[in-house]
A and B are shown apart, each in its own frame.
Chain A
């Protein structure tokens, strides 16, 4: 009986201690220290780079400290905020171009292409007409590279499919879009040809027939970039296609892999502002600040996405810049994904792909 007494007393003490913390009213609810304060949603893992490249310099210049908020991987977050009117961030960093497509179509985003800033307009201006979106300002490019163990040599996607001459454990993403695109590359199709090639059933059949050729040689159908990075680093996988900035980080961390930009498809990542965000104006000012070439250059050095502002490349160390997808050396090899096509077909393509995988 004594043990129960003892533990109960202890438990009470702990409860009393923690309830003091709990009783503090709405510790987490937003209360801004200064006028004009606002919050920025940042995907996990980028906090440090974001702090040094954007948040600290912004505070130095304007005396206002934006609050960094850890954002999830899903855009459902923005939908929930807009629909309930409870915003936990006013600006969101690093949404994929396809994510913008969904959110914009549902009317969940503010227009930001009218921000009065030379830099913002320079970034828009550098984009091909078809890729400009009023609710989405790209801050960087993620490019698919072919990555392989350093004792091997894969020159292009056809080599990944050449299982006879180039044996080894292949890995492809377990998502329809990425892997169908990889198959199209191996057939010599460019990203801009995807929509026309897949306009009829015959095209789809050809793609899946091509995928049939490699299916048994794929040991890992990975989902997350972090998983494939680990698999490559631990030499569990011999060759795959994955984002260039991951490959660069892996090499920096000691992975013995090589990569190249041949037939590289790119995805733009960018800023959005949730519709009706109470601090939209502050958010626009912040986006303009973060679009300055020197800010982008700072961020790029930590997270080496391809800068999309034409003036950034000149600010970077040439030895480092040459590895980026938007460097003049590589720019010939890269081409944007067809955002509109994939927005329309992603769901169905993925279903068909999963069915093929299961079969």
Chain B
């Protein structure tokens, strides 16, 4: 009941719990910020410092003298500004579409209907676990000249010549949204899971039609999830470069590709540093706009600043909030109107919208899972070029994978690094998220920016920078170097996901627990943790997968002596012409299905 009341309070205006909480900590502000320290120090030491090493090269000219020539050239070359705009445009629309499309899926997952939940989970897990390279190739398989769609249409006589479906803007967006959906869905799901269903029922009891109950009660409560999902997808999309190269046309060029190009093809380290600074600057700008308008009010801290009336963001949000309420009321009214029309057609309440939600969800499931499913027959194809339709039948690619100790060792290494770095980032990240979400923190925007930056940058930048740091302390080529590198990449996902879940968390539950005699740790273990479970699981998954997909960190910090699955895939695909890539993807597909089904079986038995 108390959860419900505090959430109600939040919607109406300011959570009383937060006010109370603020007062109790105001006396000891320094102490309350203590949990931030590990994350802060970690990111400063292993991210900010290395970054200075890399971007530092940008303020020197070829002769090694201090110079602004790289930045002058950057400002004077319009092509990079156009590429930057492209990048922002693609990332923005990817984030918007992903969040809108992912919302019904997250809602379905959160509604906890038994039927179909495991299938839904599989659909979300499959693209999440599929390597970015395989995902891009899968889309090429579907969309290309003689791909799945075209060859089907041609054989059915629906087309005379193949349609041009790939190497354009829509193809890039499609593949980006596909890759990012799991991230968005799980982030929103972990927030929605903590919304008390009694609230929606209460709204119905009080006479609200489902349209109004949704838009005026449920939706505002899910907003922290929506906002952080948008943010995570946006920053992740900023750093993409494989998808636009493989599926886009030159018009979809993105800035991360330009940075990598400067390092790999033009050997211009100084200019790569300047481009990195530009990308970070643009990210900062977008983040500040996000924070000033939507972000802090829904993600964190907003209630605090609104309550104290301090800070510009507080004032802006005070103006925005009633406006937002009015907009939602309007949307609710419109929905109810349509609902009535739908009811009169179908003659039955509920059935309409429920059916619509189901159809939408199943279409999305197909969208998520089908491209990867088409890779399965390719992994048994005798043809070596990832082409459609598959030719003959062979298990050669699976044999290559399973009989090779190199591949097996690489897989094991990947799992080990992913597991340890995911744990490490949770240990550092969760306490930081607790503070960032609940207290007013000095230099918050700066801190959040530091948290977001590792997602935005191409991994190679982080890797090169860390190499310099680790070389200094003689750690290059150790397992720890890789784990620290991966923890830098994972940490942002953990912090943002957990922050989103915490937004709806009622601190008075903690207070009640303390009153009842529980210690702080006990409260965290028995009260806080169970509520955060969905968020923490999602955070763990993101962290694990992010590490599981990395190439550059392992290549650089492992000093080339150690292989992981992505590294092995990459070096095989670089020269070799075979379909081991498809076979590995099929193996992962199977493993994900088994794990999800078993996990859900165990869960439902309990």
A350 — which chain B residues lie within 8 A by C-beta? Answer: 261, 265-266
A347 — which chain B residues lie within 8 A by C-beta? Answer: 262, 266, 268, 271
Interface size class of B (residues with CB under 8 A): 35 or more
Interface presence of B400 (CB below 8 A): no
Complex alpha-carbon distance, A255 and B460, angstroms: 33
A30 — which chain B residues lie within 8 A by C-beta? Answer: 477, 559, 561
Interface presence of A72 (CB below 8 A): yes
Task: Tell me whether A88 and B476 are in contact (CB under 8 A).
Answer: yes
Smallest CB gap from A69: residue in B: B560
A225 — which chain B residues lie within 8 A by C-beta? Answer: 574
Task: Tell me whether A46 and B560 are in contact (CB under 8 A).
Answer: no
A357 — which chain B residues lie within 8 A by C-beta? Answer: 250, 253
With beta carbons under 8 angstroms apart, the residue of A22, A71, A174 that contacts B245 is A174
Complex alpha-carbon distance, A30 and B261, angstroms: 31
Interface presence of B423 (CB below 8 A): yes
Given contacts A28-B559, A350-B266, contact A236 B574 (CB under 8 A): no
A222 — which chain B residues lie within 8 A by C-beta? Answer: 245
Task: Tell me whether B558 and A28 are in contact (CB under 8 A).
Answer: yes
The stretch of B103-111, B363-371, B564-572 in contact with A is: B564-572
Task: Tell me whether B387 and A235 are in contact (CB under 8 A).
Answer: yes
Smallest CB gap from B141: residue in A: A234
With beta carbons under 8 angstroms apart, the residue of B251, B479, B571 that contacts A70 is B571
Smallest CB gap from B136: residue in A: A227
Task: Tell me whether B575 and A45 are in contact (CB under 8 A).
Answer: yes
A185 → chain B, closest Cβ, in Å?
A: 20
A357 → chain B, closest Cβ, in Å?
A: 4
B576 → chain A, closest Cβ, in Å?
A: 6
A358 → chain B, closest Cβ, in Å?
A: 5
Interface presence of A192 (CB below 8 A): no
A88 — which chain B residues lie within 8 A by C-beta? Answer: 476-477, 559-561
Interface presence of A57 (CB below 8 A): no
Task: Tell me whether B561 and A79 are in contact (CB under 8 A).
Answer: no
Q: Which residues of B77-106 are within 8 A (CB) of A?
A: 77-79, 82-83, 86
Smallest CB gap from B137: residue in A: A230
Given contacts A357-B250, A358-B250, contact A234 B79 (CB under 8 A): no
The stretch of A123-131, A246-254, A292-300 in contact with B is: A246-254
A157 → chain B, closest Cβ, in Å?
A: 21
With beta carbons under 8 angstroms apart, the residue of B145, B266, B388, B573 that contacts A226 is B573
The stretch of B172-180, B277-285, B303-311, B465-473 in contact with A is: B465-473
Q: Which residues of A83-107 are within 8 A (CB) of B?
A: 83-86, 88-89, 98-99, 102-103
Given contacts A28-B562, A47-B571, A233-B385, contact A74 B577 (CB under 8 A): no
Smallest CB gap from B249: residue in A: A221
Smallest CB gap from B268: residue in A: A347
Most chain B CB neighbours (cut-off 10 Å) among A74, A83, A102, A175: A74
How many A residues have CB within 8 A of the partner chain? 74
Complex alpha-carbon distance, A229 and B387, angstroms: 12
Complex alpha-carbon distance, A225 and B480, angstroms: 33
Task: Tell me whether A234 and B385 are in contact (CB under 8 A).
Answer: yes
Task: Tell me whether A69 and B464 are in contact (CB under 8 A).
Answer: no
Task: Tell me whether A28 and B478 are in contact (CB under 8 A).
Answer: yes
With beta carbons under 8 angstroms apart, the residue of A70, A73, A75, A234 that contacts B567 is A70
Interface presence of A29 (CB below 8 A): yes
Complex alpha-carbon distance, A152 and B319, angstroms: 67
Complex alpha-carbon distance, A43 and B419, angstroms: 28
Interface presence of B267 (CB below 8 A): yes
Task: Tell me whether A18 and B416 are in contact (CB under 8 A).
Answer: yes
B interface: dominant SS: helix
Complex alpha-carbon distance, A88 and B562, angstroms: 12
With beta carbons under 8 angstroms apart, the residue of A44, A232, A354 that contacts B570 is A44
Task: Tell me whether A22 and B477 are in contact (CB under 8 A).
Answer: no
With beta carbons under 8 angstroms apart, the residue of A3, A72, A224, A236 that contacts B556 is A72
B552 — which chain A residues lie within 8 A by C-beta? Answer: 72
Interface presence of B269 (CB below 8 A): yes
Task: Tell me whether A74 and B264 are in contact (CB under 8 A).
Answer: yes
B263 — which chain A residues lie within 8 A by C-beta? Answer: 74, 76
Q: Which residues of A1-53 are within 8 A (CB) of B?
A: 2-4, 14-15, 18, 21-22, 26-30, 41, 43-47
Interface presence of A59 (CB below 8 A): no
Interface presence of A164 (CB below 8 A): no
Task: Tell me whether B577 and A229 are in contact (CB under 8 A).
Answer: yes
Complex alpha-carbon distance, A171 and B364, angstroms: 33
A219 → chain B, closest Cβ, in Å?
A: 6
Interface presence of A355 (CB below 8 A): yes
Complex alpha-carbon distance, A235 and B145, angstroms: 8
Task: Tell me whether A27 and B478 are in contact (CB under 8 A).
Answer: yes
Interface presence of B196 (CB below 8 A): no
Complex alpha-carbon distance, A80 and B263, angstroms: 12
B266 → chain A, closest Cβ, in Å?
A: 5
Interface presence of A117 (CB below 8 A): no
B602 — which chain A residues lie within 8 A by C-beta? Answer: 3
Q: Which residues of B225-278 are within 8 A (CB) of A?
A: 245-246, 249-251, 253, 258, 261-269, 271
Task: Tell me whether A71 and B560 are in contact (CB under 8 A).
Answer: yes
B563 — which chain A residues lie within 8 A by C-beta? Answer: 70
B555 — which chain A residues lie within 8 A by C-beta? Answer: 70, 72
Smallest CB gap from B572: residue in A: A45
Interface presence of A336 (CB below 8 A): no
A235 — which chain B residues lie within 8 A by C-beta? Answer: 145-146, 387
Q: A80-B471, A350-B261 are known; give 4 further A-B pairs, CB within 8 A.
A: A3-B602, A75-B267, A174-B245, A358-B253
- Please name 8 pairs of A and B residues whose Cβ atoms are closer than 8 Å in the assembled complex, sorted by A: A72-B556, A72-B560, A226-B575, A227-B246, A230-B385, A236-B144, A358-B82, A358-B250
CB-based closest 8 A-B pairs: A45-B575, A44-B571, A233-B385, A84-B471, A234-B387, A88-B559, A357-B250, A69-B560
A residues whose Cβ falls under 8 Å from a Cβ of B: 2-4, 14-15, 18, 21-22, 26-30, 41, 43-47, 67, 69-77, 79-80, 83-86, 88-89, 98-99, 102-103, 169, 174-175, 219-227, 229-230, 232-236, 249-250, 253-255, 303, 346-347, 350-351, 354-355, 357-358
B residues whose Cβ falls under 8 Å from a Cβ of A: 77-79, 82-83, 86, 137, 140, 144-146, 164, 167, 245-246, 249-251, 253, 258, 261-269, 271, 383-388, 416, 419-420, 423, 460, 464, 467-468, 471-472, 474, 476-480, 483, 529-530, 552, 555-556, 558-563, 567, 570-578, 602-603, 606
